[in-house]
Structure 1
């Protein structure tokens, strides 16, 4: 009997906000089965050799203003690998469907007739503020939150919409556009005294939180760099009032020894 060729497939995996132990059990299992892993610069990149011992690794990470591999090329390589019978894993920081272009990759796989599944991940939009002691919602403070991409400035209509919604605004990778974000929100009517936090390098040994008002955050965060999560709203005051140190709050031995 002739040998049948193994059917390839693609799995989009959310890597969470960084540490390997914040991967889901399903994500960890999928990685052990991977033949090739296309990974970004965020997520559990330092632990890949242990997480996916039989896989080949391809770094397709993007940095602000520099994409070493285009999205079209990434998608084409993944589909080619799956057509060749490989189990291709696309590992992203956070969740694949939160500004991760997971929807585009899923659609391309479906159009090519490639089996594709998705493993959700812990989104940094919620986890990183939490690591700084900031809940994105809190009873009698905020009953909603909005997640915004910080890669490009918003329109006037979007600023007015955000300012009028109330609640908490969470901005991912928004250090470069922070001045325009602040100006847009203030022009849309958000009070200059609104608390703002910039949480850099969440869940790492060098995690740092900078807190100021909307009117002063641009100057206060001049030394801040991505990766960072920006939180705007009254929930920021909860972190200050609780006075929690990151190591104590997370109860993580590795952070406590840092």
Structure 2
């Protein structure tokens, strides 16, 4: 029997598929909610000609990149469990690149906004967590590319590194969620106490509902991703290369 193509499918695979679809729904919902918040309530989008609206790209792009695309990249190996592993590696790395591009543009937007308004950079807890997350994300991508794609480490070294790669992948996702939540609350706090602001968070206006639903969507999405990645029954079946190395090591 070919263990790569005919391994028994987990009995709970339907539940797995349902949860993956929920993740996609929550990811899209998060992107829609943050876009509505920035586009409808905070004036829409522009670039350097309007720093206030340039800032609005920051939360949208960070949610797209560091929450939605990153979550999908983490799930790629389990979703495409029977697809050629090289193709999944390329997809995994490509989603990482897409997330990194969105994050880079999002960071530029917020730095440009701060500089145009003479606001200090990197003073808040949100900024410390956020920048640390993006830096670790970039390092994780480089290490993963070298270890698993090119020049590619030996099978033994890849096997030993894999647990570290998974650990740091989930850690970075947790940090991204923390950065998103602190950023959401920081923006709501500034709006609530800004001079002449009509936004009163304690009154729970429609904008406040959007803000809260955005945060809840991100949290629930991350919880499901953690669950799917840590459940052994959803792990990708061993391919021919892994089976061959196991057999050789047992001889």
> Structure 1 or 2: larger helix share?
2
Given the two structures, how large is their TM-score scaled by the length of structure 1?
0.23
Q: Which has the higher contact order (CA 8 A, sep 6+)?
A: 2
Q: TM-score, normalised by structure 2?
A: 0.23
